[in-house]
Structure 1
């Protein structure tokens, strides 16, 4: 989500967390692997750089933290290494759906180097607005995604998000559901799945919905082919002048096995009677 729209990280820091950043319309995604000179390579989730390529004005290291497994000192190391590489100020922004995780990383980080303590900027549930108005979700889709992530146990939040997806027409709309689904807790995902499966106004994006939608689509296609095969078989029999008894017509009309119907159609071309279609000597079972 942030890599598709880098300006979003700037808006989060400025508008939601009150961080002062250089005023520039230039925001780009930087390569997320950078060398610590002379240590090993570091891999962060996302790096954004403000300003022109030749003269970086500010850098943002963005991490999405679902739990407390990352050593906070590693974040200080990220910031120091990127400062050495770009020679500009660096902000570390963490997006934490869980309040406890957000509080954990909001504490000043003692890097182990005298005089160097990092204060990461943390976007937690308390900083993300609860969006239950579909029109507000349409106007601020990125915040609506994060509202689902942080407050999705409130059904109205998920319903507003789902309704907004039906109205959105921008280039990122197809990805919004994927973002919300991937960042949400399992119970919120189940609610998203429940709501999306009852919607007919927008495409299906979640793994659950794709599976069931695809299965239903395939079953529908198979049924349509079988119905067409039944129609063609009855047309062939009628064209040959056969009088089809009701029980045989029912047997043909209720058959959903496309291979069986095709076999009967092949026989219908040369059969001397309708009974020959079901003759065991022709390889078919009565």
Structure 2
């Protein structure tokens, strides 16, 4: 069953179809025409033989399209698939998605795999190596090419910032998390709880504890979001084994920064330099705890 993080990443692109085409342009440098009517299409594909499972339908995570009436192909389509773990069956099925969407819609079609772990990044990048496939159409979005978004361009459409935070948090980088989480909490429609729950699902339990400690004034609010979301019931340690022992000090430094951002406290240049230079896990753990309660950042060191 797909996790909240898995569903959340795909749902962001469904909520804002323009994000998919932005990724093609800005991340992968794909030259696209001026497209019209960017939209999400019903992500159920009929197939002609029951080659997978016991259903006669295939369900990618999302299908997006944009029209270009004067172009011979009619427009551009994107098949979206988010992955947290390599999937042997999915290795072949991805190309079935691509082929059937390209045939049924009739548009130039790209296959966008959103990798939510380093293992998936490596697996997806190799998909074209051992088979004759149109691997030039496969685009892998991961922490290496997704921009770290630290400003929300449009408060009513924070999808770009939330997508950045989800992908980077899934890989252990929490730098864009605070901006995206605050933007999600400022929404006044049903996306508020949904986006916040996606973001919470991207954190491991240690990071979640720190975020809760940093946002004391919003603990009840966050708990309510969790109760309403599938994330409350997810196995939140899934896929987090990779990299837990490696880079622990850097992770602690990032979490201290995140705590201060969420509490609205600013690190002085001297404090920033001291934190960046520290490699002692014992000291960083101590500072992490103090960051939750001090009145100003410099007091963390006393």
**TM-score (normalised: structure 2):** 0.56
Q: Give the distance between the partners of 2:229 and 2:60, measured in 1 at CA.
A: 31
What secondary structure, in the 3-state scheme, does the structure 1 residue paired with 2:200 have? helix
SS of residue matched to 1:127: coil
Distance 1:104 1:171, change over 3 A: same
1:4 alignment partner in structure 2: 15
Alpha-carbon spacing, 1:122–1:159, altered in 2? closer, same or farther (3 Å):
same
Q: Conserved in 1, the CA contact under 8 Å of 2:115 and 2:142?
A: yes
1:191–1:161 Cα change, 3 Å: farther
Shift of 1:134: 5.7
2:113 paired with 1:94: yes
SS at match of 2:120: helix
How far the C-alpha of 1:101 sits from its partner, in A, is 1.3
List per-residue Cα deviations over 1:57-81 (Å, max 9, x = no partner): 1211101111112532211111112
Q: Work out whether residues 111 and 117 of structure 1, in 8 Å CA contact, stay in contact via their aligned partners in 2.
A: no
1:109 match: secondary structure: coil
Deviations 1:91-142 (A, max 9, x none): 1101112233113212352685x5x4333111101122334x4666959722
Higher relative contact order, structure no. (Cα contacts within 8 Å, ≥ 6 residues apart): 2
Say which SS state the counterpart of residue 21 (structure 1) adopts. Answer: coil
The aligned runs of 1:1-286 (5 Å cut-off) are 1-39=12-50, 40-51=56-67, 56-70=74-88, 71-109=90-128, 116-119=133-136, 120-131=138-149, 133=150, 141-152=158-169, 153-154=172-173, 156-168=175-187, 172-196=191-215, 198-199=217-218, 204-207=224-227
Kindly report the root-mean-square deviation, in angstroms, between the aligned alpha carbons of the 2 structures. 3.7
For each residue in 1:30-71, what CA deviation from the matched residue of structure 2 results, as whole angstroms up to 9, or x when unmatched?
121112234442111111122289x85121110111111253
How far apart, in 2, do the equivalents of 1:180 and 1:108 lie? 28
Contact 2:46–2:57, Cα closer than 8 Å, also in 1: yes
Greater Cα radius of gyration, structure 1 or 2? 1
Indicate if the aligned counterparts of 1:34 and 1:41 stay in contact, CA closer than 8 A: yes
TM-score (ref. length: structure 1): 0.59
Counterpart Cα distance in 1 of 2:161 and 2:206: 18
Q: Which runs of 5+ in 1 are unaligned?
A: 213-286
Aligned length: 208
SS of the equivalent of 1:121 reads strand
Q: Identify if the C-alpha distance between structure 1 residues 32 and 127 changes in structure 2 by more than 3 Å, giving closer, same or farther.
A: same
Using the TM superposition, give the Cα deviation of residue 161 of structure 1 relative to its aligned residue in structure 2, in angstroms. 3.0
Secondary structure at the aligned position of 1:44 is classed as: coil
Identify the range of structure 1 (86-95 vs 162-171) with the bigger mean alpha-carbon deviation: 162-171
Contact 1:73 1:110 in 2 (8 A): no
